[in-house]
Structure 1
Amino acid sequence: MNRRRLQHSLSALTMAAATAVGAATVGASPAHAALSNRSCGTVTDADAAAAAQLNRVLTGKLAHAMTPYRASCARAVITTVRGLGLPDRAAVIAVTTAIVESALENNPNMVDHTSLGLFQQQNFWGTDEQRLNPAWSTTAFINAMLRTYPDNSWQTQDIGTVCQKVQVSAYPDRYGAQASDAQKVVDAIGAATPPSGPAPTPATALPSAATVYNPDTGTAEAFAIGADGAMAHAYSTNGGAWTDWSTLDPSFRFTGSPAVVYNPVNKVTEVFATGTDGVVSHNYLFNGGQWSGWSTLGSSFRFSGSPTAVYNEATNAVELFGVGTDGVINHTYNINAGPWAGWDPLDRGYKFTGRPAAVYNPDSRTAEVFATGTDGIVSHAYSTGGSSWTGWTTLGPDFHFASNPAVVYNPVNKVTEVFATGFDGIMSHKYLFNGGQWSGWEVLGPDFRFGSSPAAVYNASTNAIELFGIGPDGVLNHTYNLNAGPWAGWESLSTNYKFAGTPSVVYESGVNAAEAFGIGADGVISHAYNANGSPWSQWTALGNWKFKTG
């Protein structure tokens, strides 16, 4: 199938920049003439005590050179690894690598090509600020280790060998020589570090449009939150020109991204969003009618992320999910377009961040929801035939993700596929054929890095799953698989457009077209499309309204 690269550009999800801290150099470690070292966190009295203790026992690169600052950087690495639920051997591997690469200094100067930070990661790992964030860079290193050594095989391998396989250094023998000192560092600093420090919280999705297709009217409709917080929408009928944007009751102000769903039995489109006060509200339109106006859904519940919704054909219900301020995913629904049920938590034992993703499988009559935990692990829960929702089950604890998941069902090949972006910017997927078991996580093109959550759609005209993501450079990239076969390589859809949000995509059955949307760095939403598997169109701006980009 002839396809053009979908240009993508989403501003990279970054953590806050740390304050500058000076530190002495050791041996051949990089000089810091241009910029002072970045902080790894507050330097504590415990760091000073650990540094003094270690200066009596270290014999390698850091012999007599451990400082309270370096101890604070080691503590940041150890805390992150423990927060990911891994044993201290993983911390020893990470600290070994940081000793060799940076002498445990969070160096902001590019020394070897584009390398930065504790692990001297090149720019294909992530943005400058990501690589200079100790929690982010440590998690990216650990994710790469877990992919390189599946099934926890890293636990029985030589430490220096593991470091080298992740870093692919021109000097492979340097790591093993520092492993003994790294063990001493973890023993000394780890003793004063909580056994289970907070994991780096995965980044929530940057704003995106929400799109839906109404097959009864042949209308594709897009919703987005304006720079002023008001919800706006635009639409196209039967593949025609898009209308200009118009607001849906500007008296309500929202944050994050909207969710939208169409109920084909009751002929109603319903849009949801989280207010600036954390309360979720909805607005609906019956075919041929007018928009209802916004009304809140349970003002006593507060949400920290954007909602997601799915139509459940088994019960003729719209199912709605959102992450509460306590990290618990709550759920509500309405049946036959009737009154909404009260919010109900789905298993308080799991904590999540960002935005869930939901899908309906008509063959098994199963609604399923996926979400990224505060530990970066994706979990799922489901309801079959209107039964009670199951508890959460993790989908492979060896992979940790920084993004919200995306999920799609291919009804021809009977396969559900879920996607997520790792802390290292690499996108991975996992799939389940009906009646089978979940595959392991598999990377989709390790040479491509993404700063956004993925977006996916099933394209019935070509029996393809289409997948999109925005790179750290703001370019929107695209890949696909046909007939549940191998994935094509990533391609950009025009490098001339730069995007700042998470993409959105919809399939329009009446015109056999897939259509993608992105919020530009300037806040203007643009779209591109392909019909019947033809090449992707060029990007075209949908008016000149400005929408939230962060």
Structure 2
Amino acid sequence: MNLHLRRRLSVLVLSAVTVAGAAATGAVPAYAAMPNRSCGQVTSADSAVADQLNRTLTGDWAGAMNPYRASCARAIINTVRGLGLSDRASAIAVTTAMVESGLENNPNVLDHTSVGLFQQLDSWGSTENRLDPAWSTTAFINEMLRMYPNNSWQSAQIGVVCQAVQRSAYPARYPAQVANALKIVNAIGSPTSPPASSMSSGSVSTVYNPDTRTAEAFAIDEKGHMQHAYSTDRAKWSEWIPVDDRFEFTGGPAAVYNPVDKVTEVFGVGAKDGVMSHAYMFNGQGWSGFVTLRENYRFVGSPGVVYNAATDAIEVFGIGTDGVMNHTYNLKAGVYQPWESLPSDRKFAAGRPAAVYNPDTLTAEVFARDRDGIVAHSWSTNGGVFQPRWWDIDNSFRFASDPAVAYNPVNKVTEVFAVGSAEGMMSHAYVFNGQPWSGWKPLDNGFRFVGGPAAVYNGATNAIELFGIGQADGAMNHNYNINAGPWNGWENFKPGWAFSGTPSAVYEPDFKAAEVFAIGSKDGLVSHSYTANGQPMSDWFTIGSTPFKVS
């Protein structure tokens, strides 16, 4: 369906409102169209984006963007990014929705049985599914991936891919909107770091850069120096390279990628002074060397970081020597703001905060274990202030490990994990958007763990992958749930390898691979294993020959 037809429908919907008013006076409507379905909360950011785009869009779309359409575009883009795909995939999906529905979630059947953003026929799924922006977008993307195996859609013309998936009687309409779709994708927020939900940090910190197709690992060696190794296009990992050996660190590193400003940043706490420092690298340039983040604050444990797509900011968290959580951030890869203390009603144990970004609610959320072993959380929505107090998830459980957190953007559920203080069992709690927290639930009481968990969202299988180191043998154990369903059960994979500390996990969307890293308990060497396209975990592979400290 083209935009002209969609505009006629908008007039019809407006007429329906008018008719509803007429009904109150006794007039009988001949026809009443159903109003468009929501694509999610319309925010002030959607209004700002609509105003911006109305100055740049051309052709039929000149002046046609409004906050509702911007919210629908955002729902599509966030779903695609949550699946771990690049913004080219977002442009394909947005181009299609622009042509088919005018970026409106239309429940009225206008062409055979077509409804929704993509005007999908009933052969695609139920009416309610097709009117769910996340479901319909995921169905569209899955069909694209089926028709273009081995990522061949990345080199095909965008309009051609749209037509291949939709099989429209009017294929020429897609190429005409590609330029506008690219402007919309560029204007709508910024990619979730795949993800905020796509990595977790432990003794090793790992991050994936989708622009250079590079996975990068950071660890602190026995002298306290930060080192990194990397693999591009899943080639053999490099040797370990010092980032800046003038600085010595304690605890563990925390790394994050800003996909808008194309910069990777890594953070650490000074071994001698407790001051937090960071180093950064813009794509195609060298590392900056470490720079301190305001020397008047002292920290214990390790940093926690997350990329906040709502504000194009890197959010940094650290636990002060007084147990108070502190926070800083930079906007658009700029200067970091002064440290601010979050509410001091809770004192936290020396450890690593866990942070996650929810693209559906535009919320950055931080979790930490307090000095009583209770996991509490606070959050900030759309760049606003953090909550004025800390909130317990479920204070009937006590934990020995720092938490790990992951967000599933398809099923819209946040899950947090931690290891119990009394028995070493792994437990999890979860919250679906708009609902209350579940409370803690053990994940198979036959397994016991040391250190902390690592969790990562796997866009290839729509699963959260969970890792933990066994208490008895140091072996890595793996669990997962698909479509936010029941957990599969712990698997002790590749026995004979023993690890210490807390593992780290990352998702690499270009290769549909989830990868876990850990430090060997005997030799201090970093090894990694991976699963691609839902296949069993691979053998372990050791990276370089440098021994590292366990945090």
**TM-score, reference length from structure 1:** 0.62
Match of 1:352 among 348, 352, 361: 348
Deviations 1:69-105 (A, max 9, x none): xxxxxxxxxxxxxxxxxxxxxxxxxxxxxxxxxxxxx
- Within-5 A mapping of 1:368-517: 368-390=365-387, 391-423=389-421, 424-472=423-471, 473-517=473-517
- What's the secondary structure of 1:445's corresponding residue? coil
Query: Does the 8 A contact of 2:247 with 2:270 survive in 1?
Result: yes
Match of 2:293 among 297, 300, 325: 297
- Partner Cα distance (2:277, 2:384) in 1: 26
- What's the secondary structure of 1:262's corresponding residue? strand
Deviations 1:429-475 (A, max 9, x none): 00000111110110001110001111000000000100001111211
Match of 2:305 among 306, 309, 313: 309
- Partner Cα distance (2:233, 2:542) in 1: 19
Deviations 1:230-269 (A, max 9, x none): 0000001111111111101111000110001100110000
- Partner Cα distance (2:211, 2:420) in 1: 38
Structure 1 vs Structure 2 CA RMSD? 1.2
Structure 1 residues 324 and 467 mapped into 2: Cα distance closer, same or farther (>3 Å)?
A: same
- What's the secondary structure of 2:539's corresponding residue? coil
**TM-score, reference length from structure 2:** 0.62
- Partner Cα distance (1:256, 1:379) in 2: 21
User: Which residue of the partner structure matches residue 114 of structure 1?
Assistant: none
Match of 1:339 among 335, 349, 354: 335
Residue type of the partner of 2:500? A
Query: Does the 8 A contact of 2:354 with 2:403 survive in 1?
Result: yes
Deviations 1:321-343 (A, max 9, x none): 01000000000000011110011
- Within-5 A mapping of 1:239-258: 239-258=234-253
- What's the secondary structure of 1:510's corresponding residue? helix
Residue type of the partner of 2:227? A
Match of 1:263 among 238, 244, 258: 258
Query: 1:218, CA displacement in angstroms?
Result: 0.5
Query: Does the 8 A contact of 2:450 with 2:501 survive in 1?
Result: no
- Partner Cα distance (1:368, 1:328) in 2: 16
- Partner Cα distance (1:440, 1:339) in 2: 39
- Partner Cα distance (2:414, 2:304) in 1: 18
Query: 1:549, CA displacement in angstroms?
Result: 2.6
User: Which residue of the partner structure matches residue 204 of structure 2?
Assistant: 209
- Partner Cα distance (1:416, 1:324) in 2: 26
- Partner Cα distance (1:396, 1:248) in 2: 40
- What's the secondary structure of 1:352's corresponding residue? coil
- Partner Cα distance (1:343, 1:259) in 2: 17
Structure 1 residues 206 and 374 mapped into 2: Cα distance closer, same or farther (>3 Å)?
A: farther
Gaps of 5+ in 2: 1-199
Bigger relative CO (Cα 8 Å, ≥ 6 apart): 1
Residue type of the partner of 2:209? N
- Within-5 A mapping of 1:69-84: none
User: Which residue of the partner structure matches residue 87 of structure 1?
Assistant: none
Query: Does the 8 A contact of 1:257 with 1:273 survive in 2?
Result: yes
Query: Share of identical aligned residues, percent?
Result: 60
Query: 1:206, CA displacement in angstroms?
Result: 11
Deviations 1:334-378 (A, max 9, x none): 001111001101101210011110000001100000000000110
- Partner Cα distance (1:254, 1:529) in 2: 28
Query: Does the 8 A contact of 1:330 with 1:344 survive in 2?
Result: yes
Match of 1:225 among 215, 220, 225: 220
Deviations 1:100-149 (A, max 9, x none): xxxxxxxxxxxxxxxxxxxxxxxxxxxxxxxxxxxxxxxxxxxxxxxxxx
Structure 1 residues 495 and 448 mapped into 2: Cα distance closer, same or farther (>3 Å)?
A: same
- Partner Cα distance (2:549, 2:375) in 1: 27
Gaps of 5+ in 1: 1-204
- Partner Cα distance (1:245, 1:543) in 2: 6
- Partner Cα distance (1:388, 1:398) in 2: 28
